[in-house]
Amino acid sequence: MAPHTPQRSGTPGEAGVPLYDGGIGNGFTPIMKASELAPGAMKWVVVDRERVLVANVEGVFYALRDACGHQGAPLSTGTLVGYVIECPLHFACFDARTGELLNGPVSADVPSYQVRVEGDTVYVKR
């Protein structure tokens, strides 16, 4: 009889699939302390030489590319109301949870990134 070999499939985060092997890994980069960013606030950090916007939406952290889908203005210098980020330049609005363009001038969605929080550390995977 063959020894039992556990099989895993799916994507990290699904039932039965570990988020990390042996702690944080799998491409997640520690970027900040969760306690540094209050609910309703956002900031930018650099991950792999790219500006990444981190938003705290009612205690849940989200990460997006920190460049508007219109002309690239830094969204982190805009405003965050609920889950809506408004660009400071021409006021396009994006969903902080997904990067989806909600309204504004000719524009495009912005990429969003996976976020994990362990203890007081926020990790992002680009």
77 SS3 class: helix
109: tokens are 């969605």
Q: In terms of CB distance, is 63 or 85 closer to ligand FES?
A: 85
Window of 9-17, 18-26, 28-36, 82-90 that interacts with ligand FES by CB under 6 A: 82-90
Residue 77 within binding range of ligand FES, rule CB under 6 A? no
Q: What is d(CA 3, CA 40) in angstroms, rounded to the nearest whole number?
A: 52
Q: Does 31 bind ligand FES (CB under 6 A)?
A: no
The reply on whether position 102 binds ligand FES by CB under 6 A is no
Pick from 58, 26, 61: which is nearest to 43 by CA?
61
Q: If binding is defined by CB under 6 A, does position 73 make contact with ligand FES? A: yes
Indicate the residue among 19 and 102 with the shorter CB distance to ligand FES: 102
Q: Which of 71, 82, 103, 108 binds ligand FES (CB under 6 A)?
A: 71
How far is Cα 93 from Cα 47, in angstroms, rounded to an integer? 23
Burial (Cβ within 10 Å: 0-12, 13-18, ≥19) of residue 110: buried
Cα 112 to Cα 63: distance, rounded to the nearest angstrom: 6
Nearer to ligand FES (CB atom), residue 67 or residue 122: 67
Q: Is 89 in the site for ligand FES (CB under 6 A)?
A: yes
The residues of the shown chain that bind ligand FES, judged by CB under 6 A, are 68, 70-71, 73, 87, 89-90, 92, 104-105, 107
